[in-house]
Amino acid sequence: MTRRFRIGVVVLVLGGLVAGTAAVASLGDDEPSSAARAASAGGDTVTGKRSASTAPTATPRAAPADAGAPVAVEQPKPAPVAPVAPAAPATAGVEAQVAYMLAHWSSYNTADYGVIAENDCVNFTSQSLIQRGWEMDDAWWSKGKGGSFTHSAAWISSTAMMKYLASSGRATALTDDQRDEVKVGDIAQFDWDNSGDRDHTGVVTRIEGSGDNIEIFYAGHTDDTDYRSVDYAITEKHPGATAYYWSIP
């Protein structure tokens, strides 16, 4: 083998080894190059930033349908409430009158007034009217105190008081069928035997019930009491008796 031929063979062998080594290296490279990755992603191959033209865009949201104008809903109107008339308060005069009756129905006020033994009911009622604010006049009066005092007939007699109240206009006559018009502080009178005269007098101190079930209570002297039922007086104590009233404004 000539020198030229041996040199040529060596060159061929070396060239083949180099080519084979390059081929093997290319077969073992699974990761693409950074340039290839940038190109496939559409990025800037120089800066690595994503191109604006390839940025993902959000799907536009559909415009809501027009719901139209709001529908007016009529609010229910509250049911009308009927005004309730307040109960008429007792006047200071009535309060003083009733307080006097309750203070002296069993403890007679001999320090200020006279006493009529066993027949003091109208005298006591007259005293309470003074506490209410009434003033004495020529037909209805008293003077003195204790067991010795002077007085008019209307001050101490049930029948005389009935006539005085009717003529003076100080009170309005009511029958027992008009109990719904009777008030605390009004005068109650009784005809025990239905003779037309008046036999007993007291002052209304309490009223219970309403309509056809009204019960009236009174206070008085002689048959001393603070809250006696009119019904008891005319059905049990004096069966068949009649009650009357005088309504005082």
Q: Say what the pLDDT of residue 242 is.
A: 98
Mean of pLDDT values over 224-231: 98
**Token digits of residue 20:** 């084979």
Q: What SS3 state is found at 146?
A: strand
Q: Say what the pLDDT of residue 45 is.
A: 36
Number of residues that this document lists for the chain = 249
Q: Say what the pLDDT of residue 29 is.
A: 41
Q: Say what the pLDDT of residue 148 is.
A: 80
Q: Say what the pLDDT of residue 113 is.
A: 96
Q: State pLDDT tens for residues 63-115.
A: 555 555 555 555 555 555 444 434 445 799 999 999 999 999 999 999 999 99
pTM attached to this predicted model: 0.65
For residues 110 and 91, give the distance between their C-alpha atoms in angstroms, rounded to a whole number. 27
- Decide if pLDDT at 36 tops 70: no
> pLDDT tier at 6 (50, 70, 90 boundaries)?
very low
Q: State pLDDT tens for residues 114-137.
A: 999 889 999 999 999 999 999 999
Among the listed ranges 13-17, 98-102, 223-227, 235-239, which one has the minimum average pLDDT value? Answer: 13-17
Q: State pLDDT tens for residues 138-181.
A: 999 999 997 789 999 999 999 999 999 999 999 999 999 999 99
Please, what is the average pLDDT of the chain? 78
Cβ atoms of 100 and 126 within 8 Å: the answer is no
**Token digits of residue 19:** 């080519």
Q: Spell out a b/e string for 86-122, using b for 16 or more CB atoms within 10 Å of the CB, else e.
A: eeeeeeeebebbbebbeebbeebeeeebbbbeeebbb
- Decide if pLDDT at 46 tops 50: no
